[in-house]
Amino acid sequence: MDYDDAIRGQIFTRRQAVLTALHASAGLAILGLFPKRTDAAATPATKPSLPLIAAPAMTEGPFFVDEKLKRSDLLAGTKRPSVVDGLPLLLTFTVYRLADRKVSPMKDVQVDLWHADVAGVYSDESNPMNHEDTARQSWLRGYQLTDEAGNVVFKTIIPGWYEGRAPHIHFKVRHTVDGKTLEFNSQLFLKETDAKRIYSAAPYKGRGEHDTHNADDFIYSEKLSDGSVAGSHLLLDLQKHPDGKGHAASFPLILSDKSFGEHRKFEDDMPPGGFGPPPDFGGPR
């Protein structure tokens, strides 16, 4: 996360995002894209202050690899049991641009997705923090370009947990402006009730209950300028998978031009003095 300016603009609640998009005549007819909120009703943002974003930026983390794999199916090309046996997740992103108080779909922007497998291990990593050398493997990584409606859909699995972090999914949105590639990084999280249910069943249950919950996660718990917890804006609303097994989820992003920046390494996101006692990013022991 950008610790000097953790939020680039004002956080939208999902309801505010819908109301602002409708007010701007963006043609967002499918309101189901926006997960329901259980908090107090938001005030319609008829005159939003700019810039506005729908989700806070977070660090890309130490395990991003630019594989340049354009694909929707992140399970393709592997028979690794901790990938192919995972609980299916059909994940949709819809990316919108907010400019001059108008919201419109962002076409042809690149959305990257990467996360750990059932065992809490990342592909293509020889870093000791990964607790397994998976160099030259590329499962559970890939990117797509948004269509005219701003949509991309990934076929993946519910990630496993690893020590020191709450379960999460990394994503990156990239687009080119004047020949320069700019990006927005963040992470998605599971609701605690979903995590407890999923990790107590096969194929995840053999590892026991995850050791770090959302409230204990040092990234999820980062406070934003409005006083809210960053991760609370990044929770997946899991629904039934269309094929019957697993889950589906949709996550909308409304991004202003100021949401994007040049690439930052994981080390660049470290606050002065570091994060404190370093968490164990390792996989299964």
Instruction: List, for residues 220-268, the tens digit of each pLDDT value.
Output: 999 887 788 999 989 999 999 999 899 999 999 888 888 899 887 766 6
Q: How many C-beta neighbours within 10 Å does residue 224 have?
A: 16
Q: How many angstroms separate the CA atoms of 122 and 140, rounded?
A: 8
Residue 280, pLDDT > 60, answer: no
pLDDT in tens, 126-176: 988 888 999 999 999 999 999 999 999 999 999 999 999 999 999 999 999
The pLDDT of residue 111 is: 98
- Classify strands 10-11 and 52-53 as parallel, antiparallel or unpaired: parallel
- Tell me the pLDDT band of 276, cut-offs 50, 70 and 90: very low
User: β-pairing, 151-157 with 88-99?
Assistant: antiparallel
**What predicted TM-score, i.e. pTM, was given to this entire model?**
0.80
CB–CB of 155/246 below 8 Å? Answer: no
Per-residue pLDDT tens digits for 177-215: 999 999 999 999 999 999 999 999 999 998 888 999 999
Residue 46's identity, in one-letter code, is T
The CATH architecture to which 10-37+48-260 belongs is: Sandwich (2.60)
pLDDT in tens, 225-238: 778 899 998 999 99
H helix intervals, the chain: 14-23, 81-84, 192-199
* Pair of tokens at residue 159: 């990630």
Asked whether the predicted pLDDT for residue 27 surpasses 50, the reply is: no
pLDDT of residue 231: 93
Helix (H, G, I), strand (E, B) or coil at 231: helix
pLDDT for residue 125 is more than 70? yes
Q: What is the DSSP string of 70-106?
A: B-SBTTTT---HHHHTSPEEEEEEEEEEEETTEEEE-
- Using a pLDDT cut of 70, give the percent of the chain over it: 73
To 5 degrees, how large is the angle CA 90–CA 60–CA 11? 75
